[in-house]
Structure formats: structure tokens, C-alpha cells
Structure 1
């Protein structure tokens, strides 16, 4: 992801700080959607493998590949969040975003 995504990734609605939305450029949304569609197909394939009693090691290999693909999506979103939301909120003096970011990273590291 390049710096042109920086300020476009996340946005706080001016009417309410509790209603935050992300605003990714169309090319980023398209990339994420393509990746998620591929992951969805992988999940369907894994389900089919289970139904066909495919050897466990082969299923685990596919699960690992799917988890890796999900991690790639998370990395793209996290990068946009840090370069956009976090930087913007810090520049506005909102230091609470650091605590929020720590919790988000902890959630990602649980996996």
C-alpha cells in the first residue's frame, strides 16, 4: 500500500465520534474484495475436502494457506489504519488512538 491511501483509509463522521467509517480508495477495496473472494473459495474447498474425507494433512495444509491469506488482508487493513486513522487522530491530539491500536494489534497477534 502506498502513501496515497494515507488519509483516505479511515474517517470519523463529523456528527459523531462513535460512528467511524473507513474510506478506502476503490483500488484498495477491489484488491481486498478479490482477496476475500479467493479466501471464500478456499473455505468452500476445505469444506468439500472434509466432506470427501480427504487426508487430514492435506486439509491442514489448505487451512494454513487460508489463514495466511486472511493475515495478508489484515496487514493491508492495519497499514491503512495506521497511516490514515492513527496519524490523523494523533495530529488532532487524540492520544486514545494509541490504546485502541494496541488492542487491535493484540487481537491480531492472538491468531
Structure 2
């Protein structure tokens, strides 16, 4: 597994091959609270707000199969993604606010577009 460090920021560069087992980063945009897998989108997701709004709720991710694990990070530190704890997104009992590009959450698809949190990291604190 290869990890690349962005020489300008000193952070892991998820978009240029540093995605490890999750593959190259792909951007998904929230629409009506849902991020929909498009085409052969991988499992290393950079999620953006609908219409580049300052903040948006992520209520669900669709298009993946049972057993798939995805890593989700915000596409930009300038926009906040709130991953909502719900019947379809079983988090650790609370919503997860991602307001920094270094924040991430790993989710496991339990089937029927129902997700369970594996881990999270709020690295932009």
C-alpha cells in the first residue's frame, strides 16, 4: 500500500493514489440529503454539498452493495458535511460534523443502502 504526502500541506493526499485499499478518490455531490454512486465510483469518497452550500446533511449513500466499506471525507474544508445518525446511517449515537478535509468516517454497507459506522476521525479539530 502506498501513501503520498502532499508536499505543500504535509497531509495525506487522498486524490493522487494515496487511497490505499479504498482506491482513488472520487467526488460525489449530495442531492436531497443523498450521495448517489455514479458509474464505477470507488470507495474513497469526497462528498460535496448540494450547490456548494456552506453546509449540507448526508442522510444516506446509495448504489453500493452489502459488505462494501467506504471512506467518506468532505470535498472541501470550506464546506461542512453533517453525517446524520438515522435508521439508514447507524453512527455511534450522534451525528458527525466534518468541517475539515482531514475529517473522515468509514461506513460498512449492511444491505439495502443501510450503513453502520466502523470508525471516524475528526482530524481538523
Q: Give TM-score scaled by structure 2 length.
A: 0.26
Return the index of the structure with the highest Cα Rg: 1
Greater relative contact order, per chain length (Cα 8 Å cut-off, separation 6+): 1
User: Where is the strand percentage greater, Structure 1 or Structure 2?
Assistant: 2
Q: Give TM-score scaled by structure 1 length.
A: 0.29
